[in-house]
Amino acid sequence: MLPPARTMTLYADDDLLVVNKPANLPTLVDGYHPEAPYLLSLLKAEYGELWVVHRLDRQTSGVIVFARSAAAHRALNIQFEKRQTEKVYHVLAQGAPAWESKTVNLPLLADGDRRHRSVVDAVRGKPSATELRLLERYADYALIEAIPRTGRTHQIRAHLAALGHPIVGDQLYGGKALEGLKRLGLHASRIKFHHPATGDEVEFHAPTPDDLTQVLKALRQGKPSLQPRT
């Protein structure tokens, strides 16, 4: 059952709407399943006209921003295009990295193979940078903070897979399922930018959802194991 739009709302004013998107809900209409619910439609029913500023993958949970006026949309688009925003993700990845922090600079080519993945390509790929910081290390997994400094498709997913640490549940990039988490282990935790009307720096945080919280608790206790997908 989908939560009401108001319960997803983190902040709203005349220019901005910031919400905590649940996992397994697409941001926009699914072309293959146009009848299925999607976030923008649910929010418009509550708040009226909205402008899309950025997106989150269907399985990704967390903070997402919409504009509530054309002027705010233009101002926010400039910030996102110029990389004047900061987006922070929490990632549950496979393996236990030996490093505490790392900056990944691997060029990515979107739709680079038959599975339509973003692939590392030194010749045709676009410059792509992701800052990584280890938050917690478990026996076979790790909780990682990821800050993309460029905005390539599936950037965090592709970069972690290239390092040998695919995201839990990310079948497309080699991640396996983990008991208790029926989706991608990726959560948009925080976003920081300048308010389009006032120019003030603002920051919004989406709390870790229950499914990921429970899995992390179990991992700290050494309980769950990888479950193969069928």
Question: Distance between CA atoms of 172 and 158, rounded to whole angstroms?
Answer: 10
Domain ranges of the chain: 5-220
pLDDT of residue 143: 98
**What does each C-alpha distance from 199 to 20, 191, 227 come to in angstroms?**
23, 15, 48
The mean predicted confidence, pLDDT, of the chain is: 93
- Place 228 in a pLDDT band, splitting at 50, 70 and 90: very low
pLDDT of residue 122: 96
Given a cut of 50, whether residue 47 has pLDDT beyond it is: yes
Question: Distance between CA atoms of 192 and 104, rounded to whole angstroms?
Answer: 21
Which CATH superfamily does the domain covering 5-220 fall into?
Pseudouridine synthase (3.30.2350.10)
Given a cut of 80, whether residue 230 has pLDDT beyond it is: no
For 7-23, how does the pLDDT look when each residue is reduced to its tens digit (9 = 90+)? 899 999 999 999 999 99
Mean pLDDT of 174-183: 92
Question: Distance between CA atoms of 68 and 75, rounded to whole angstroms?
Answer: 12
For 56-85, how does the pLDDT look when each residue is reduced to its tens digit (9 = 90+)? 999 999 999 999 999 999 999 999 999 999
- Place 31 in a pLDDT band, splitting at 50, 70 and 90: confident
The closest alpha carbon to 39, from 215, 24, 53, belongs to 24
Question: Distance between CA atoms of 63 and 54, rounded to whole angstroms?
Answer: 11
pLDDT of residue 1: 66
For 124-163, how does the pLDDT look when each residue is reduced to its tens digit (9 = 90+)? 999 999 999 999 999 899 999 999 999 999 999 999 999 9
Strands 201-205 and 186-194: antiparallel
Q: Which of 30, 57, 111, 121 is catalytic?
A: 57
| Residue 170 annotated among the catalytic residues of the structure | no
Question: Distance between CA atoms of 10 and 131, rounded to whole angstroms?
Answer: 26
pLDDT of residue 229: 46
Question: Distance between CA atoms of 32 and 224, rounded to whole angstroms?
Answer: 34
